[in-house]
């Protein structure tokens, strides 16, 4: 892959920092590790994979065809391959691999992506800024109009640049700018509405006001509040924070002392179940999850070591 624009790399990392500071990242991204990043890839693939990100995933996972990508494939993918991704997020890499940068952009939902789209949008934005500031291209050099000098042949009463063309008509005037601006606002609004209400399959099915969710074994799944499920399935009102952050730890071997302060647990049948978010136990809403203290983590690690030594 070609090297990426360093400004794009910085923009991705800045976006990550902003979302982390605003607590908008899932736990696996806010505190990345190879195992957690693989889980984040699996989650993103399940919930918001689209054809726009196809090449990003093909490059990272090293497959030639989209048909090779699947949840099973990602689950079995070597988690050590995510180690450079974690180091990139933690700013431990000076010259990151482009495929790792694009993967992070996908995971944190950075827009616009990939780098080619970002570059195109940046050029358009700079061009629009040049026009707004009264700069125009004169065959390789950029000149500015002077809003305070009537001697400038391209000065207008509105303070905008007009470039004469044959016939004496203005090629770029105040009315053109207004029309262009209205069209641009309409396109941006349309793109926002499409992304919010149509491009997200969950939102197409369920308006925000009619959302509920139920526990699917290791995470909550959104459903319409009118949808009927089995008698033993608990359906609760949709909670954005719990929906995005509550996960059951399915690989206890990944729990270490670094997990202290980041996990919660409940004990059932002499076995501890660990979760990535505080709140109610999904299978019994009368029970609260407790913080996984150093003692609880130590007991888990000791029991794991004892089992491995037998």
Instruction: Say whether both 109 and 153 belong to one domain.
Output: no
Domain span at residue 194 reads 148-205
Phi, psi of 275 (to 5 degrees): -135, 160
pLDDT at 209: 54
pLDDT at 145: 45
CA 35 remoteness from chain centre = 18
Instruction: Say whether both 101 and 198 belong to one domain.
Output: no
Confidence at 309, pLDDT banded by 50, 70, 90: confident
Q: Are 160 and 177 in contact (CB under 8 A)?
A: yes
One DSSP character per residue, 78-110 reads -GGGGHHHHHHHTT--SS--HHHHHHHHHHTT-
pLDDT tens for 224-254 read 988 888 888 899 999 999 999 999 999 988 9
Phi, psi of 141 (to 5 degrees): -120, 150
Distances from the Cα of 78 to the Cαs of 37, 105, 251, in angstroms?
11, 20, 15
Whether the predicted pLDDT of 289 surpasses 60: yes
Report if residue 141 sits inside a domain. no
Cα–Cα dist 69/45, whole Å: 9
Report if residue 299 sits inside a domain. yes
Confidence at 5, pLDDT banded by 50, 70, 90: confident
pLDDT tens for 131-143 read 666 555 444 444 4
pLDDT tens for 6-20 read 999 999 999 999 999
Whether the predicted pLDDT of 106 surpasses 80: yes
Instruction: Say whether both 39 and 86 belong to one domain.
Output: yes
CA 218 remoteness from chain centre = 21
Shortest CA distance to 115 belongs to which of 64, 175, 55, 45?
55
Instruction: Say whether both 216 and 267 belong to one domain.
Output: no
pLDDT tens for 150-197 read 444 433 334 444 444 445 455 556 778 888 889 999 999 888 877 665
Whether the predicted pLDDT of 32 surpasses 70: yes
Angle made by CA atoms 82, 84, 88, in degrees to the nearest 5: 115
Q: Is 293 helix (H, G, I), strand (E, B) or coil?
A: coil
Instruction: Say whether both 181 and 231 belong to one domain.
Output: no
Residue with tokens 């054809």: 51
Report if residue 53 sits inside a domain. yes
Report if residue 305 sits inside a domain. yes
Final residue of a structural domain among 230, 246, 262: 246
Instruction: Say whether both 179 and 164 belong to one domain.
Output: yes
Instruction: Say whether both 64 and 154 belong to one domain.
Output: no
Whether the predicted pLDDT of 213 surpasses 90: yes
| Structure-token pair, residue 98 | 């482009």
pLDDT at 88: 93
Confidence at 214, pLDDT banded by 50, 70, 90: very high
Instruction: Say whether both 255 and 162 belong to one domain.
Output: no
Shortest CA distance to 142 belongs to which of 152, 131, 156, 153?
131
Number of helical (H) and strand (E) elements in the chain, helices listed first? 12, 10
The count of domains in the chain is 4
Report if residue 133 sits inside a domain. no
Instruction: Say whether both 184 and 194 belong to one domain.
Output: yes
Instruction: Say whether both 212 and 200 belong to one domain.
Output: no
Report if residue 255 sits inside a domain. yes
Confidence at 1, pLDDT banded by 50, 70, 90: low
Instruction: Say whether both 51 and 93 belong to one domain.
Output: yes
Confidence at 129, pLDDT banded by 50, 70, 90: low
Instruction: Tell me whether strands 235-237 and 284-288 are parallel, antiparallel or unpaired.
Output: unpaired
Report if residue 129 sits inside a domain. no
For the whole model, what pTM was predicted? 0.43
Instruction: Say whether both 14 and 52 belong to one domain.
Output: yes
Final residue of a structural domain among 174, 205, 236: 205
Final residue of a structural domain among 116, 132, 162: 116
pLDDT at 147: 44
Range list of β-strands (E), the chain: 135-137, 142-144, 211-215, 220-224, 235-237, 264-268, 271-275, 280-281, 284-288, 290-291
Report if residue 80 sits inside a domain. yes
| Structure-token pair, residue 264 | 């919660």
């Amino acid at each position: 892959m070609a090297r990426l624009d360093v400004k794009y790399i910085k923009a991705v990392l800045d976006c990550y920092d902003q979302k982390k500071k605003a607590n908008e990242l899932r736990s696996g991204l806010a505190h990345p590790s190879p195992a957690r990043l693989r889980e984040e890839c699996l989650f993103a693939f399940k919930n918001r994979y689209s054809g726009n990100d196809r090449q990003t995933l093909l490059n990272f996972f090293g497959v030639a065809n989209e048909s090779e990508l699947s949840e099973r494939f990602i689950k079995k993918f070597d988690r050590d391959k995510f180690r450079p991704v974690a180091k990139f997020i933690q700013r431990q890499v000076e010259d990151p691999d482009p495929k790792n940068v694009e993967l992070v952009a996908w995971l944190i939902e950075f827009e616009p992506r990939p780098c080619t789209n970002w570059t195109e949008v940046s050029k358009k934005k700079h061009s629009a800024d040049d026009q707004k500031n009264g700069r125009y291209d004169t065959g390789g050099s950029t000149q500015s109009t002077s809003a305070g000098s009537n001697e400038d042949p391209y000065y207008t009463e509105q303070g905008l640049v007009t470039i004469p063309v044959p016939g004496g008509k203005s090629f770029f005037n105040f009315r053109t700018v207004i029309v262009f601006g209205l069209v641009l606002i309409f396109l941006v609004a349309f793109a926002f509405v499409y992304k919010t209400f149509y491009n997200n399959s969950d939102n197409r099915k369920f308006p925000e006001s009619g959302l509920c969710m139920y526990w699917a074994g290791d995470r909550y799944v959104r459903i319409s509040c009118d949808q009927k499920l089995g008698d033993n399935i608990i359906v609760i009102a949709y909670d954005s924070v719990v929906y995005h952050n509550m996960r059951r730890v399915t690989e206890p071997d990944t729990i270490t002392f670094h997990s202290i302060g980041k996990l919660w647990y409940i004990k059932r049948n002499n076995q501890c179940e660990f979760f990535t978010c505080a709140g109610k136990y999904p299978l019994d809403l009368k029970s609260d999850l407790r913080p996984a203290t150093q003692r609880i983590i130590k007991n888990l690690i000791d029991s794991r070591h004892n089992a491995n030594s037998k």
